[in-house]
Amino acid sequence: MTHLDAVIALAGEAGAAILDVYRREDLGESRKDDASPLTEADLAAHRILVAGLGRLTPGVPILSEESAQPSWAERSGWQRYWLVDPLDGTKEFIKRNGEFTVNIALIEGGLPVLGVVGVPALEMTYAGVRGDGAWRIDGSGRNAIRTRSMHGRGSAAQPVTVVASRSHGADTVAQWLETIGGRVGAIETRNMGSSLKLCLVAEGSADIYPRLAPTAEWDTAAAQAVVEAAGGEVLTADLEPMRYNAKPDLLNPHFYVLGDPGYCWREVLPD
């Protein structure tokens, strides 16, 4: 897809602006109306992405977490638009643990068809295009990534790797792990912030990410594109494909990110 390299470059530009703030003692922190944190880095990245995407695809709507949200009457008519989280994982940014991302997705017909997830503090980027493949870009270059098979997983030597949020829903996930552990065998967990959790499944470092706490559509779309381009799937708790711009609110349902679509997930996942 012709836009991929330009979007990767734009994510890098936004990431550089984020790191300029990250290296300062004062992050310019404030609070939104919903009490969630906001920093000068969120706003700097937002300005770069909105301007850059506007130049790249004039006339294509851009929905950013830091934009004024359009009405459903307007948004429901969008068949193609950009969905952006300029700084996903603001809590991790404030903690300075490096687990924050720049998320850029192109949505067509309710599906994320292109996704770029920049990881500024780790100097790497994940990218995926539906039908073309997925890549991790770092100091070693651009390397194709694939989700991994569940074949042989569940033993002590090869446990099922479950990735979970570092900041949200820990108690619910703990209960979920108790239930699923008896069904899939040995489990290990990895905690991670931001959309990096989905990217761990995409690159084959984890097998499943259960998200049993609230998220917004801009939190997941870019990484969902990467996961699906890498051979995995993102399903709602009802095990239906997760879609975008299909209802008035911008909240996702609870969902699962699955690395191996051929595994018997429907038999082992809790009701």
pLDDT in tens, 21-77: 999 888 777 777 666 778 899 999 999 999 999 999 999 999 999 999 999 999 999
The confidence score (pLDDT) of residue 170 equals: 65
Three-state DSSP class for 89? Answer: coil
Q: Which stretches of the chain drop beneath a pLDDT of 50?
A: none
The confidence score (pLDDT) of residue 87 equals: 95
Boundary (domain end) residue, out of 113, 144, 175: 144
Whether 152 maps to a domain, the answer reads: no
By the 10 Å C-beta count (0-12 exposed, 13-18 middle, 19+ buried), 82 is classed as buried
86 φ, ψ (degrees, to nearest 5): -60, -30
Residues 177 and 101 in one domain: no
Whether 245 maps to a domain, the answer reads: yes
Residues 201 and 246 in one domain: yes
The confidence score (pLDDT) of residue 90 equals: 86
Residues 178 and 125 in one domain: no
Residues 183 and 228 in one domain: yes
The confidence score (pLDDT) of residue 30 equals: 77
CATH code where residue 241 lies: 3.40.190.80
Boundary (domain end) residue, out of 144, 179, 194: 144
- Residue 103: name the closest of 144, 150, 62, 160 by CA: 62
The confidence score (pLDDT) of residue 37 equals: 75
**What gap in Å lies between CA 71 and CA 213, rounded to an integer?**
25
What pTM does this model have?
A: 0.94
Q: Which two tokens stand for residue 150?
A: 């569940």
Residues 178 and 209 in one domain: yes
The confidence score (pLDDT) of residue 177 equals: 87
Residues 254 and 122 in one domain: no
Q: Can you give the residue range of the structural domain that contains 29?
A: 4-144
Question: 222-261 in b/e burial notation, b at 16+ Cβ within 10 A?
Answer: bbbbbbbbbbbbbbebeeeebbbbeeeebebeebbbbbbe
The confidence score (pLDDT) of residue 188 equals: 94
The confidence score (pLDDT) of residue 91 equals: 86
CB 196 within 8 A of CB 99: yes
Whether 179 maps to a domain, the answer reads: yes
Who contacts 270 (Cβ-Cβ below 8 Å, separation ≥6)? Answer: 176, 179, 180
